[in-house]
Chain A
Amino acid sequence: MIAELGHFALILALLVAIVQSTLPMIGAQRGARPMMDVAVPAALLQFGAVAVAFAALTHAYVTSDFSLKNVVENSHSLKPLLYKITGVWGNHEGSMLLWALILTLYGAAVAAFGRNLPPALKARVLSVHGMIGVGFLTFILFTSNPFLRVLPVPPDGQGLNPILQDPGLAFHPPFLYLGYVGFSMAFSFAVAALIEGRVDPAWARWVRPWTLVAWCALTLGICLGSWWAYYELGWGGWWAWDPVENASFMPWLSGTALLHSAIVVEKRDTLKGWTIFLALVTFSLSLLGTFLVRSGVLSSVHAFAVDPARGAFILGLLVIAIGGSLVLFALRAPHLRSTGTFAPISRESALVLNNLLLATAALTVFLGTLYPLFLDVIGGDKVSVGTPYYNATFVPLMVPLVLVMAAGPLMTWKRADLQGVLMRLRLAFGVALAVAVIMIIVTKGHEAVAPLGLGLAAWLLVGALTDVAQRIRLFQAPWQVVRNRVVHTTRAAWGMSTAHAGLAVTIAGITIASGWQQEAIQTLHPGDSVTLAGDLYRFERVEPRPGPNYAAEQATVTISHDGDPIATVHPARLTYPLQRMTTTDVAIHTDGLSDRYVVLGDPQPDGGWIFRIYYNPLVPWVWFGALIMVLGGVLSLSDRRLRIGAPVKRLKRAEAELAA
């Protein structure tokens, strides 16, 4: 009964979305206010209906309603409650429903909080957003309906993929989707602006918070995904350039570019066409990510729902959404006129360079991800593009990006004094050089990556701190002035410096973690020990550990350094009889600077066990830095100008609309 309620709610949501995508658009074209005003209640109702559907599916999972095909295939009565709930989106149908839930949540948020938007723009934005809703709700109802019943009702379910039975799964996809789908808002704003034929600073100000929310969520989602892969998959790595990882990374790169170019539109009324293009591309890449994962076009560990029919449907959606918006862009964008002009050395130029590098980086990842597919389609070999390609292409793009990143914030709009900026960065340069030299000495000149990477991180970190220090006139003015400055520095400025510093931390983590990892693979008998990176790992014993729906063998390993105990860890191997699958339970001991990572492998006939042990220096910083970046985004989001909107501009715009 409750499942039927969910099913009906989903159908209702589709009908509401159809209304939302048509009436307000027609109303905006004709200037008919009542038709425009349909958008707000429609967006709220659409969200409410999808929320009911999602709640109904969750209810079916929690109560183990095995009359639903989706629950049978993905759940089991013995599963712990947490995994029954996360199982809702641990499968194709449920994850698409979560997609739709988040999509409509964003629409409802704009409807509820977008009170200062001009009515026509708001109607068009919500209308375009409604169209995306129509596409995805149709997709769910016709190809991926989670509410289908099954007869006869099986006594129990088939369980969830054990690898996905992990708390990391509870939070990774929702945040990733909050990010992916959040860029739909920027897309809707961009399409609405193209239809109106007008992009102005006020538009950029409205679109920025939504982009920022999506960016923060996506950063967190990628960070959680990487961390989850690190501790769950047991290969000691945190990023593999897997097609699905790339699918989330591409919108992050172009979304980061969009965040920066929107500032230029807002402050300087230029780069309009480019910003619109980035908004379209960022969401297009999110859709593409969905397509790549859901269609099975690219094989990957992530592709847990491979189905060509669904792929064809999503491809159709892609053609309409991306193709349609790009055609609109080709027709309208050439006529957008910019008013702001700027010199080659200026903050605008620095941001243009940032955008070029980020866009090129996104293109690089795009080519690497899709090259195997292109080659396969034209009848070539099966190839895979791996880390060496990305090291050779992606890293060289990041170096100039980071170099400019420290200087950009110190530049002024319109025309900057390069010499002055460089003078102010002399401390950053000095520290970066010192760090690089120290690293060259430490590595005895055998390695270029560590000095370069840590040097860049130091350059960026000290550069960001320099910017803050100058902003608040630290060491330059009496402390009352400094305090006053601190209070009056905008949250956006704090956010930027924080996010840039966060990237510096991540770069340091990536550099050391990827270059200095140490690894030992060895068969150990109880009582044996192995030395890695100066630490002694002693295999004490292995014993069975019962679980709710698995059987585990748990080892006890003590780690010590020069006789001083560091930690006792318990790596385990879990066997799921139902799925005939074995997973590893990695034991990680972290001290914030480095991880000691122990994996229990297969038992050997002679009573020994294979152990894989990694020493991962500075790897926590990779995620720590990402969290700092998210904090920067949240700070920027709380900026006053984004919270209260832009009343003055709104007035001007309303006048312009009246005059038009």
Chain B
Amino acid sequence: MPPENKTPLGRRLLFLLPVLAFVALAITFALGLGHDPTVLKSAMIDKPAPAFDLGPVMTDKPGLTRADLGGKPMLVNFFASWCAPCRVEHGTLNGIAASGIPLVGIAYKDKLENAQHFLGDLGDPYQKVGLDLDGRTAIDFGVYGVPETYIVDKEGRIRFRYAGSLTDDVMKTEILPRLAALEHP
């Protein structure tokens, strides 16, 4: 190897650039590791649920209003008959209903008959279901897209939002512990 002093400093610094770029990249990654990309920040957390008054979906069940929320911790599930992940999570929702956890549903931008067929075919897990035809209530809740599920506490405040299909696993790790904590603070 030629003696080091023959190599100009500028050239040596040039070859140092990739290292510096990589250091910046590694720091970004280290910070990025703590971020869960699926977590969407919700501006509504710990705020009272917005006011709404939705007409019924099922003929044998009343619609859903703001007054139905609160009293005890419950789940509010936004769904739509046209949404495939909603079909996927429906089995889990039926399981929730069977276990007695209070669950109400809001059909998001759905046609009345489609929503009725959807619940008729797959089972109706909701204690009450409201039809949010124009999606106004969903906007007030801050829904990004269906399905989304909110935990509302005794005081009617939104405490948690889960975006995406509920699975038994998500119930076990994300939902049930939070419900239990709200039930017995």
Contact = CB atoms under 8 A, between A and B. Distances in A.
Interface string B21-60: 0110110111111111110100000000000000000000
Interface stretch (B1-9, B61-69, B134-142, B146-154): B1-9
B35 to A, nearest CB: 6
A373 interface: yes
B172 interface: no
Interface in B90-115: 91-92, 113-114
A322 B22 contact: yes
A582 B29 contact: no
Interface string A414-425: 000000000000
Given A581-B88, A582-B87, A326 B19 contact: yes
A318 B26 contact: yes
Contact of A377 (B1, B6, B32, B88): B32
Main secondary structure of the interface of B (DSSP, over half): helix
Interface residues of B, number: 37
A334 B28 contact: no
B98 to A, nearest CB: 15
A284 to B, nearest CB: 8
B18 A330 contact: yes
A374 B2 contact: no
Contacts of B87: 582
Interface string A257-300: 00000000000000001000100010010000001000111110
Interface stretch (A308-316, A467-475, A590-598, A637-645): A308-316
A33 interface: no
A580 B91 contact: yes
Interface string B139-166: 0000000000000000000000000000
Interface string B115-142: 0010000000000000000000000000
B32 A329 contact: no
Nearest to A308: B33
Interface string A308-340: 100110010011001100110110111101000
Interface residues of A, number: 39
A376 B35 contact: yes
A311 B14 CA distance: 31
B32 A373 contact: yes
B12 interface: yes
A605 B114 contact: yes
A308 B36 CA distance: 9
B11 interface: yes
A327 B23 CA distance: 11
B22 to A, nearest CB: 6
Given A315-B30, A377-B28, A296 B19 contact: no
21 contacts: A297-B33, A299-B37, A311-B33, A315-B30, A315-B33, A319-B26, A326-B18, A326-B19, A329-B19, A330-B15, A330-B16, A330-B18, A335-B4, A335-B6, A337-B2, A373-B28, A373-B32, A377-B31, A377-B32, A580-B91, A581-B88
Closest 10 CB pairs of A and B: A299-B37, A605-B117, A197-B1, A377-B31, A330-B16, A326-B19, A330-B15, A334-B7, A334-B12, A297-B32
Given A323-B19, A326-B22, A330-B18, 13 more contacts: A197-B1, A295-B29, A311-B33, A318-B29, A326-B18, A326-B19, A330-B16, A335-B6, A373-B28, A377-B28, A377-B35, A382-B37, A605-B113
